[in-house]
Structure 1
């Protein structure tokens, strides 16, 4: 992973090179709509308060659990013994991005939503609440974290969430077979090059024209930047949107030429 100093330098470079977030001069109707109706939607949806109240409770929960880490590891500790409060503070996506995912799901109304990496279920809750008529299947490798997440789903009375526990290499293919096609996927379960590419390749036969894939931490490390480069270069990808901390991939045939956008967020 990049050091905080290097990541900050990369963000500054991205910020000055990226398009502004107002949509001015944007010729793609889809991307213009994404910017103006999703990215810049400042509505204080009531579901935000529900999820953030849960986050605050988790930040005060000092229960220690055993964590099996199947990805690139924690930024803050090498120990498998971790407090729930520390996981909530360091591993959960900030509300800015959880709420962006909520707005994306609310706006595009995907029916089958896949998440790789449940963690404590904060982002999962945003995804599930974004479209209560849809269905979220969320995968988590670590049993203790999955148990904590399930408790949080019960706390929020989520009725449209199914959790699958186990290493992704053992669970993902079966989930895809049972639930294809996938309308929306958020990939946050592994921050290494080959696994990220493998998940993408597994997803490709189960997508359709309107599928949206969101990759987390695309500039987190040299490996993740290379994964993002290879994914956006794939012939099936028609458009990609770099928001620095997350990347959005689209397959819509209405993009007659491959397009890549970096947009400030």
Structure 2
């Protein structure tokens, strides 16, 4: 708990990119203004959220995942460590061409295209990876190798609870060190692996 509160305090001090101020990268400025801070309510949001009660913090994250996939035309997404159907519902709504892979446990009501193991991904394209709260339970060395190969990019990784769990925090620090562009959003983090981009680290909260 002490470490979590310390990280929140440090994040608050560094929090300076809320609306794109101080951002010199055109890519990141556009990402903040057109995706992260975008407020449009898509029809699918209302349809999905009418199915049950979703906490405000969770809803913000799921909507952000939708906007990321929609804006960058991600159509091959891998989810690991997700223990609810909501992530899959939002991502599946992005496009009829969405290939949504579940690399963890099956969950009732989820809308994944396919459940996969690390060996199933050889030669398959992955645009985005979402590492959920429980991804440590689904992780092993085989997944580590999959991720190592994919880090050549281009790839977007979103990881949840980057300060709450020891394992999540460790993986987040490693991803941020290796990635091209990273955004620390306190509750979760985004890392882009893409040599075409200008390297940078940013901190903000939606």
TM-based fold match above 0.5: yes
Unmatched tracts of structure 1, length 5 or more: 57-87, 154-160, 165-170
Normalising by the residue count of structure 2, what TM-score does the alignment of the two structures yield? 0.85
Q: 2:80 touches 2:135 (CA, 8 Å); kept in 1?
A: no
Please report the RMSD computed on the Cα atoms of aligned residues, expressed in angstroms: 2.8
Measure, in 2, the Cα distance between the counterparts of 1:51 and 1:197: 35
Distance 1:36 1:51, change over 3 A: same
Higher helix share: 1
Q: 1:197 touches 1:231 (CA, 8 Å); kept in 2?
A: no
Distance 1:93 1:116, change over 3 A: farther
**Between 118-127 and 220-229, the greater mean CA deviation after superposition:** 220-229
Q: Deviations over 1:9-32 (max 9, x none)?
A: 532431231223100121011111
Q: CA deviation at 1:162?
A: 1.4
Q: CA deviation at 1:203?
A: 2.1
Structure 2 match to 1:264 = 205
Distance 1:193 1:242, change over 3 A: farther
Is 2:67 the partner of 1:122? no
Normalising by the residue count of structure 1, what TM-score does the alignment of the two structures yield? 0.68
Structure 2 match to 1:173 = 118
Distance 1:30 1:230, change over 3 A: same
Is 2:179 the partner of 1:204? no
Is 2:171 the partner of 1:230? no
Structure 2 match to 1:252 = 194
User: Helix, strand or coil for the counterpart of 2:130?
Assistant: strand
Measure, in 2, the Cα distance between the counterparts of 1:19 and 1:201: 35
Larger Rg: 1
Number of paired residues? 206
